Structure 1
């Protein structure tokens, strides 16, 4: 019998695509004396399944929404076809409860990425909707094992249930929803085993709504080889690592601890191991060479900065920010009126999604955006569909990233080639800040 071909949402499949279902479930986030925590998860679990594909391979997933809310899937960090980006009212209509949407795209860049909802993200992400997307290099680096570690914080009640205060204005106007329980891969006591001298690749992903993690290694010695999925030209020794929401760090490390090795999170009230490796006496062969650079991805080369087209983005608002009002629609509103609308932040004097893009670019143009954080809080600025580089003093360029952590009162410039056609979101990935006004968009013709 000849194979049948199905055409779904304008794309042809030789057979029905695999599904990715968002649905309620439970997870044992807290210690065993507590009941499992009700969550929302892809395939009902936290995290969702890790999707792996070779560089240049295809992802085909039929998203099924079994949640009581509309939802989408955003494939974070992938230079993707615009129609697959998962942003409601910008690239697609949100998928209603009981509905479906077919995502199909090629993964052009090797690296560590992730996926999450982009509708009511401040609630759906906090309930557990996220998973890793790993795009593998054609030739694997010299390692013994590859571990994906999704780091999250949860706001749990005394019964280990997720606190339902998702729209709390205090969170929205301050640092975002900060939790009281940290997990790695949905486990408050994540642990594994390792052999001394074993060389590991650790893919760290900050999937928290708003928490900025400060991490270090104990009993592990190694190098940062990639940031936000993009390889560094020269690996850096791994010391204290700051990871903002949505950012990723790829490490290649050697196990040096004799009995235990760990990843340590440094918090205001102390330092804690959030991921632990019990080291066995059976030692692996010791490598003396440092980690080699990963092969570069085929990103476009940024053109001369002097002739780049420019845009300015002013960030205002929030608690202690001094903003007195902003535009919403065609109206100028004071802070009281904005708060009543759930808006407390503004980009360029506007607290809602603007009708016009921040910048319209022709495909292939080099763009510079100057961003000024005139607020009392840090922000993790994420650009969809592209990777950018921070413009350093003297015109040098930093590493390729898709999410930039900006401190309070900081001014920074990013540069990128607008090579991916479509309408692309630019927003703060402290997702409460985004919902409360910190979002705009760019257009690439």
Structure 2
């Protein structure tokens, strides 16, 4: 039996301009939309010999939702059917998507009311590891289970590994009876501190899953952090990991410091690992949570003879996102974060009027961008298609924030005035307390796009804005 320590972490610790490749594989118009039904369900998150199923909200009865897999250039078509007691919407995270399909309720579409439905139909132009999740009351709906992987395969098979595994990592705040701690949903303590941190970590919807492998295999691991607010460290010690993509965007293959992948909420990483243990071995994949490492999953080697040793070099992934940055003509934009527990914010604007901090707390607007606590009346900036935007973000708070842009990838230029050593393209970046980062993007995708903290409790409490590409 898996020990209680294994899964309980104690009480909660409070792009180029062209959006489509040359050949689009369009689905026949007559085909019906496959349903993506959001509804209450049950899931065996915890060991069945210890606890019964947990009541969750799920897509088609599963959490995480079943992986949606297409090839780059193919269409994703899903009919969202809302069987929840509240409105919802689906965001297709990281995809350079048509704006009307982005799923940002209140900005790109109306929320889908209980009993209603909405058809999502878009091209997935780029290969990579992406995901889908609720984007209406996401701080609650994702805490209850509404998310899943979206895998866009390369048009031609990538031959850099024998096979691949997706590890969708999430955390849950459960009661002693193994049910979601509903009383803590919407906790102002969470909203003003680090966000909703759970006390149970799952991989692919269960605690401590067994992942069968063969000695000598080279595996592409697709890692997804689906947690509301937890920053994850994933240890791949002994597997010789090499990073090949960040947030669905290829990078030149490289090693990892201490063999650890660090993922802010919403981030993804593609990592190639070599299964180097002997047949019959059991090797844990560890996750750093609440100041300790826990065994989150086990690679269990079968008894077959080891496969031949692989070459040391890794075939890079093909890049389909083309980016044109013209820094000499860049639009300079600044975003200053403020608020939260132990912060210095005394006043902020809400509904066009300046409010003192006590009133902000009553309104549950306790974070701000440029002195505005979550209002969406005006965009942070407007840019014409093709314009380079340099965005300087200063985190004047005591907490880290996972800053996410919809519809675009961006390049990290500097951190506290020093060139970022990797300079990766990504859609989410972790901004440390009191840190200034500079990022650059090509405003390539027309429409209105959200920019927000993906610590979801921070987002609902004021850390959101938008920009328009015209």
Quote the offset at 1:301 in angstroms: 2.1
Instruction: Give CA-to-partner distance per residue, 1:173-210, whole Å, 9 cap, x none.
Output: 00000000000011111111111110111100000000
Given that residues 381 and 426 in structure 1 are in contact (C-alpha distance below 8 angstroms), is that contact kept between their aligned partners in structure 2? yes
Q: How does 1:39-438 map to 2 (within 5 A)?
A: 39-138=56-155, 139-164=157-182, 165-237=184-256, 239-258=259-278, 259-282=281-304, 283-303=306-326, 305-392=327-414, 393=418, 398-438=423-463
Given that residues 282 and 300 in structure 2 are in contact (C-alpha distance below 8 angstroms), is that contact kept between their aligned partners in structure 1? yes
Given that residues 141 and 294 in structure 1 are in contact (C-alpha distance below 8 angstroms), is that contact kept between their aligned partners in structure 2? no
Quote the offset at 1:395 in angstroms: 8.8
Given that residues 255 and 261 in structure 1 are in contact (C-alpha distance below 8 angstroms), is that contact kept between their aligned partners in structure 2? no
Quote the offset at 1:75 in angstroms: 0.1
The TM-score with structure 1 as length reference comes to 0.95
SS for the counterpart of 1:440 is strand
Given that residues 235 and 293 in structure 1 are in contact (C-alpha distance below 8 angstroms), is that contact kept between their aligned partners in structure 2? no
Instruction: Let me know the Cα RMSD of the aligned residues.
Output: 1.5
2:37 to 11, 15, 21: 21
Quote the offset at 1:338 in angstroms: 0.8
SS for the counterpart of 2:391 is strand
Q: Which has the higher contact order (CA 8 A, sep 6+)?
A: 2
SS for the counterpart of 2:100 is helix
Cα distance in 1 for residues equivalent to 2:412 and 2:372: 25
Cα distance in 2 for residues equivalent to 1:287 and 1:189: 28
Cα distance in 1 for residues equivalent to 2:321 and 2:376: 32
Identify which range, 50-59 or 352-361, moves more after superposition. Answer: 352-361
Instruction: Give CA-to-partner distance per residue, 1:90-142, whole Å, 9 cap, x none.
Output: 00000000100000000111000000010000000000000100000122233
Quote the offset at 1:216 in angstroms: 1.2
Given that residues 235 and 291 in structure 1 are in contact (C-alpha distance below 8 angstroms), is that contact kept between their aligned partners in structure 2? no
SS for the counterpart of 2:365 is coil
Instruction: Give CA-to-partner distance per residue, 1:306-329, whole Å, 9 cap, x none.
Output: 320111000000000121110001
Residues 194, 360 of structure 1: CA spacing in aligned structure 2 closer, same or farther, 3 A cutoff? same
Quote the offset at 1:241 in angstroms: 1.8
Cα distance in 1 for residues equivalent to 2:463 and 2:290: 27
SS for the counterpart of 1:97 is coil
Gaps of at least 5 residues in structure 1 are 1-10
Quote the offset at 1:289 in angstroms: 2.7
Identify which range, 418-427 or 267-276, moves more after superposition. Answer: 267-276
Quote the offset at 1:222 in angstroms: 2.4
Quote the offset at 1:12 in angstroms: 8.6
Cα distance in 2 for residues equivalent to 1:265 and 1:28: 20
Given that residues 209 and 245 in structure 1 are in contact (C-alpha distance below 8 angstroms), is that contact kept between their aligned partners in structure 2? yes
Task: Specify the alignment match of 2:18 in structure 1.
Answer: none
Instruction: Give CA-to-partner distance per residue, 1:13-49, whole Å, 9 cap, x none.
Output: 3122111111111011112221100000100111101
Identify which range, 190-199 or 390-399, moves more after superposition. Answer: 390-399
Instruction: Give CA-to-partner distance per residue, 1:289-348, whole Å, 9 cap, x none.
Output: 322111112322222x23201110000000001211100012111111111111110000
Instruction: Give CA-to-partner distance per residue, 1:65-105, whole Å, 9 cap, x none.
Output: 11111000000000000000001110000000010000000
Cα distance in 2 for residues equivalent to 1:58 and 1:286: 38
Instruction: Give CA-to-partner distance per residue, 1:237-285, whole Å, 9 cap, x none.
Output: 4622210000001011110122122321123442112121111232122
SS for the counterpart of 2:424 is strand
Gaps of at least 5 residues in structure 2 are 1-26
Task: Specify the alignment match of 2:11 in structure 1.
Answer: none
Cα distance in 2 for residues equivalent to 1:110 and 1:56: 9
Given that residues 225 and 232 in structure 1 are in contact (C-alpha distance below 8 angstroms), is that contact kept between their aligned partners in structure 2? yes
Given that residues 219 and 262 in structure 1 are in contact (C-alpha distance below 8 angstroms), is that contact kept between their aligned partners in structure 2? no
Cα distance in 2 for residues equivalent to 1:219 and 1:300: 36
SS for the counterpart of 1:398 is coil
What is the count of residue pairs matched by the alignment? 434
Identify which range, 269-278 or 200-209, moves more after superposition. Answer: 269-278
